[in-house]
Structure 1
Amino acid sequence: MIDLTVKDQEQLQEKGISKEKVENQISTFKDGIPFVKLEKEAVVEDGIFKPSEKEQKELVEYFEDSRSELQLLKFVPASGAASRMFKAMFNFLEAYDFSKETLSTYIDRTGDAAVKQFSENIENFSFYDLIMERISGKASNKDEEVYLFVKEMLVAEGLNYGFYPKGLLPFHKYNSGSATPFEEHLKEAYLYAKTDGKANLHFTISEQHNDMFKAEHQEVGPKTEKTTGTQFNISYSNQKPSTDTIAVDMQNKPFRNNDGSLLFRPGGHGALIENLNDQDADIIFIKNIDNVVIDENLREVADSKKMLAGVLKKAQTKAFAYAKQLEDNNVSEEQVAEIKHFLEEELNARLPQEFNGSSLNEQMNMLNDKLNRPIRVCGMVKNEGEPGGGPFWISDPQGNISLQIIESAQIDMSNEKQVAILKNSTHFNPVDLICGVRNFKGEKYNLLDFVDEKQGFITNKTKEGKELKALELPGLWNGAMAFWNTIFVEVPLVTFNPVKTVNDLLKATHQA
């Protein structure tokens, strides 16, 4: 139990957070979050499906054949700020004085590879012409020009890109002008998420960027609608204050700000399971805002998405038929074996150990429990050394085996066996999900029922010079979907083009 003042209670009420929720979070800090236990890496033919070219075409056709009857939605987590993307450039502004040394001397002295790459390829950024126009005539030499370019790009009196959300930065340069990730996502939606001339998109954004996104929508929406012949229905939501988590001091007592109020922190991208839960469609495509491609790669990316949607639709059709049979109590022993085989081989579900020794009725209940869950089909890319989570078979403390996307922070790096499994992994998670969130009757699942609360993260931070512990909720595609049925499918590398630093925009896949 925690003692809350009247002010604390008012603060909780304002955020929509219950006292019980805070107490549960404090218990989590006290108990700690155990590392996950990796059983083995998921590989092709053991957790990852690798369709042949023929199968890929058939799956695309299967999706296209049923597309007109489906409600489709593209869900884009877009609250990421660009500040992290420009971290090296902010450091450069602080550290470099063009009046005291040349740029090459600075780079030699500091070994600043990011600034070297940026300055040598500066003309290849889509915002080059715009900034050069704004700083025209202000620099006395090339080195000062680079400094003024970076300053104009980042500071509030300039273009202020450091404050922008990633989704609204000019990423790609075309003959017709530059395009933001927001616009690129509309072009993608036209290719695979459109039915009856309409495409539905939902962006989760930071509250401070609400007006900026709406302005971009007004500017590029009509133009993209005209070129694609598509009506875009776009909605937005912000992370809910009720998903913020309490911070604690090093003794696991609620951390208080200097004014005495409780410190709450955003719960991380796992909080977006609430935003996703507010959406409803037959098929929901999920992809991060910064993972976009130039026009020449759009078709290949769209075909990959349709292929994944075909995998989901096929699995759903079978799952729904079996769920109906079970509800009608119309299942023989042979059909129990058939449903079990489908769950294990196609949905990668694992039944409890006591399944084989149970009565027919008990077996039907277990099958029913496993079948009636949301389904996610996740694209997986061959490992190229990129950071990010990966596909693994894991076991929980009760010995239940499941297929999950696991981040390295969830793994005990002091355990050699666990590290060996991690190192042997062949694929990683590009955040490329196709979700089925309705049951066989067309009713939407409550997605909050399928979250594994034990898969969050505890991190150490500081505030006002004092140490604290912060709690991140289970990640959206990690613990927040832990109890979904999961299918991993190998997808081409072209589908993975995230922009983590500004220099990522120099990669060939972002140069139109």
Structure 2
Amino acid sequence: MFLEKDFTQIHELGIDLETVYQQINDFKEGFPFMQLQKAATPNDGVTQLSEEELSELKSLYESKVAKLTPLKFVPASGAATRMFKSLFSFLEEGKSDKSTDQFFDKLSDFAFADDLNKVVPEGADNTTVADYYLTRKGLEYGTLPKGLLKFHKYENGSRTALEEHLVEGANYANNNGKVKLHFTVSPEHLSRFLKLLNKVVPDYEAAYGVKYDISFSEQRRSTDTIAVNMDNTPFREKDGSLLFRPAGHGALLANLNDISADIVFIKNIDNVVPDRIKQPTYAYKKALAGVLLKYQDRIFDYQYQLKEWASEPLLLELSNFFEKELCVLPPIGYEGFNHNEKVMYFQRKLNRPLRVCGVVKNTGEPGGGPFWCKNPDGTTSLQIVESAQVDMDDAAQKAIFNNSTHFNPVDLICSMKNYRNEKFDLLKYRDPKTGFVTQKSKDGKDLQAQELPGLWNGSMADWNTIFVEVPLITFNPVKTVNDLLRDEHQ
């Protein structure tokens, strides 16, 4: 299957040979579907906060943040190409539709309009405008990552998505005037990010009275996965080398694992809004952090108690805590566990990373949602599940998925240290059997590609998880360029 030169290539990429063999085996055997038990719903897996609770939890975070190291982690390496699918069709094939018509009709309403006007020749037709908008002739938006695109207009200028995250960070990831942010970027765009930050950071530091500590990381080549032909043999490039491909956002688990912070806010680069409607985001971010800190304190306290004296009343209390609040149901046969087996069970389940996930009411957006799922160890717990992980040929499973009441907008607050203040190795808490196989093509040949377990589903499958409902106004992603014309982005 492999040639001598293949081993050299694999070694130079930093990939373990056994990992490559495992990936090929996963292509052959496929990944098992998630076993949905039921949808997570209000009072049954999803917590809804009253106004009083929102205020109390927000205050809890604000009272503790001075002694913590918060950090805002933003996946920002993806190109924005899919935002402009219709415009590319218009430019390359002359195809227009309602979205392209809307784009040209409302061009002056976009935050980038002034920049575009400066480079487009006078009297240009729509094809020329699209050319200067998307390509190197002008703004190059068709090849840039979303973080570098101008999203919102203000009286004193326009802001990129990256800048909106600087503003957010100053408002909820602020520790005594220091704001830590981490962006994952692709290497070819790092210099542009740095150039933008050098230009704008002094102004934001002055405006918000903070100092930014901004770091970057790149998706590692060692997380790439091998591509195979349709018969599961290794796919080879024209020069005979093996083809390895980026393995989706699940590859960013390695980047997150390198982060050192007491509390980590994870949010997608495109889910930002103008200042006029940011307040609910600030309030709920702080409240979700308060939920995390409240449960972290309880988990740490239980761990200390287990070390001192694991009494029967304590084990009963832990059983109720897990089932009613952390929504973890024990495996079949738990009732027959002896005392020591129960202690070991709770010790293992307590000693895990913790995440609080904001979820919004389901409005039909594509993506993952919150469910109660059966785990490989026989337990049942809360998981974020994507549609590709569900056997839609199974009527019962399809019904559970389609009847979900909430959607995950990738709004996570994470605690990644144990009660001894030691970092968890996050790679030990993923479910490697929750990857994806997709079909792609290269040089006119069909191939199969593999994505690693998603960052917020399979990569966090063995975390303690709490779902909290957040208002829809906090979820405004930009999937197409015309989304920037919605009221929430104007």
TM range (shorter): over 0.9
Q: How far 1:137 moved relative to its partner?
A: 2.3
Alignment of 1:81-480 (within 5 A): 81-96=79-94, 112-139=97-124, 144=125, 146-328=126-308, 330-396=309-375, 399-480=378-459
Range moving further from structure 2, 250-259 or 310-319: 250-259
User: Does the 8 Å CA contact 1:291/1:498 hold for their aligned counterparts?
Assistant: yes
Normalised by the length of structure 1, the TM-score is 0.94
Structure 1 stretches lacking a partner, 5+ long = 97-105
Q: Deviations over 1:167-208 (max 9, x none)?
A: 010110101101001110010011110111101000001111
Is the contact made by 1:348 and 1:402 (CA closer than 8 Å) also made in structure 2? Answer: yes
Residues 93-143 of structure 1 deviation map (CA, whole Å, 9 limit, x = unaligned): 1233xxxxxxxxx75xxxx1111221221111011122123225233xxxx
Give, in whole Å, the separation in 2 of the partners of 1:277 and 1:432.
18
Maintained 8 Å contact 2:369/2:408: yes
- 2:33 is paired with a residue whose SS is coil
8 A contact 1:355–1:366 mirrored in 2: no
Q: Quick one: which amino acid aligns to residue 95 of structure 1?
A: E
Structure 2 residue runs without a partner (length 5+): none
- The alpha-carbon deviation at position 394 of structure 1 amounts to 1.4
Q: Distance in 2 between matches of 1:194 and 1:364?
A: 39
**For residues 349 and 182 of structure 1, what CA distance do their matches in structure 2 show?**
37
1:306 offset after TM fit, Å? 0.3
* Alignment root-mean-square deviation, CA: 1.2
Selected match of 2:10 from 9, 12, 29 = 12
Q: 2:331·2:377 contact (CA, 8 Å) conserved in 1?
A: no
AA partner of residue 37 (structure 2): E
Q: 1:265 to 1:68 in 2, by over 3 A?
A: same
Give the Å deviation of 1:226.
0.6
Cα distance, 1:399 vs. partner? 4.0
Contact persistence 2:120–2:138 (CA under 8 A): no
Measured in 1, the distance between the counterparts of 2:121 and 2:221 equals 44
Question: Which amino acid in the other structure matches residue 156 of structure 1?
Answer: R
Q: For 1:165 and 1:62, how far apart are their aligned partners in 2?
A: 36
Letter of the 2:486 counterpart: K
CA–CA distance in structure 1, aligned partners of residues 12 and 152 of structure 2: 42
Q: Distance in 1 between matches of 2:415 and 2:329?
A: 19
2:478, 2:258 → 1: CA distance? 28
Query: Is the 1:48–1:488 Cα contact (8 Å) retained in structure 2?
Result: yes
Matched letter for residue 200 of structure 1: K
**In the alignment, is the contact (CA less than 8 A) between 2:131 and 2:137 conserved in 1?**
no
Cα deviation code 1:464-502 (max 9, x no counterpart) = 222211110010001000000000000011111111100
So what's the TM-score if we normalise by structure 2?
0.98
Q: Is the 8 A contact 1:36 1:394 kept in 2?
A: yes
Per the TM alignment, residue 6 of structure 1 is displaced from its structure 2 partner at its CA by 2.5
What does the per-residue CA deviation read over 1:47-83, in whole Å, with 9 as the maximum and x for residues that have no partner?
1000111111111011111111111110000012111
C-alpha distance in 2, partners of 1:136/1:268?
Answer: 39
Conserved? CA contact 1:315–1:346, under 8 Å = no
Tell me, in whole angstroms, the C-alpha distance in 2 between the residues paired with 1:324 and 1:356: 24
Residue type of the partner of 1:215? K
Q: Which residue of 2 aligns with 1:100?
A: none
Report SS of the residue matched to 1:133.
helix
The letter for the 2-side match of 1:177 is: G
Map Cα deviations across residues 333-376 of structure 1 (whole Å, 9 max, x no partner): 00111122112222222222222222211111100010000001
Aligned residues between the structures: 490
